Amino acid sequence: MNNIWVKIGNCTREPGSAVLCIVTGNSGSVPGKTGAKMIVYGDGRIEGTVGGGGLEKRAIGDALDCIRERMPRAITYHLQKDLGMTCGGTVTIYMEPVSKPPRLYIFGAGHIGRILARYASDLDFDTFVVDWRTDLPATDRNSAYQMICKPYLDAVNEISFDRDCYLVIVTPNHEMDEEVLAAVGKKDVAYIGLIGSKRKIEKLRSEFLEKNTLTKAEIDRVDMPIGIKFNAITPAEIAVSILAKLIDVKNNRAAG
């Protein structure tokens, strides 16, 4: 139990999700004392205990629901009425989902891409910038994002995409934007955004449908032109627009 906080820290770096369960209150004769802690992993494994027996079995099931819903909850268990436990009393358990931060992959290390990476890293995105160019400035000293220095399509083939991935396509030219979108458009991810003018987007949409590169449904889920719509002009302002959309998508997903 002494290392349960270390294990919680590991949950933010390793694949999968978990829930931290803490007994926050009790009354009567109960097995779980205030402050008792348990981690429930997505596959049903546990670390620690909130009292064992029927209480713990019910708490594990509720914690797995908490993982699926991605929302914290506090549940009060009436041991005799709810669980048929003769000891009686009540136990309140607070459950907090714990998982890796969302991963943001930015394809293109130009002005917008690097500014977005810096901003996003400060707002709890695990951020990666993909670009093949070796003559770009070094990563900003105080920035937490990582560079993946290789051709875009090579990187796409090596990245393990999942539903917690956010993809932003801001490469140096239209052809590269289209190549990346064609490569990632079928991935089951949280968000895909592509920069471009309305004219460029309509041309791309028509060509992708005509060539059957992506289906209409796959194209429609791409945020293009990217970002929250306001009169953004400078690279920094455009990065803010993109980041605002990323936050909106992330928080709406968390809310269910």
Tell me, yes or no, whether 55 and 136 share the same domain.
no
Residue ending a domain, among 80, 99, 118, is 99
- Residue 230's pLDDT is 86
Of the residues 99, 115, 140, the one at which a domain ends: 99
Same domain, 204 and 227: yes
Confidence of residue 159 (pLDDT cuts 50, 70, 90): very high
Specify the pLDDT at position 141: 52
Average pLDDT (100-108) is: 92
- Give start and end residues of each alpha helix (H) in 32-110: 53-69, 79-83
Instruction: Indicate if 93 and 144 belong to the same structural domain.
Output: no
pTM for the complete prediction? 0.75
Final residue of a domain: which of 45, 76, 99?
A: 99
Residues 235 and 111 in one domain: yes
Distance in angstroms (rounded) separating the CA atoms of residues 127 and 145:
5
Least confident of 69-78, 79-88, 193-202: 79-88
Q: Give the pLDDT band (50/70/90) at residue 1.
A: very low
What CATH number should be reported for the domain holding residue 171?
Answer: 3.40.50.720
Q: How many CB atoms lie within 10 A of CB 152?
A: 21
Indicate if 176 and 244 belong to the same structural domain.
Answer: yes
* Residue 54 structural domain: 4-99
Please compute the mean of the pLDDT values over residues 213-222 and round it to a whole number. Answer: 93
Please choose, from the candidates 95, 128, 90, the residue with its C-alpha nearest in 3D space to the C-alpha of residue 109. 128
> Mean pLDDT, the chain, as a whole number?
87
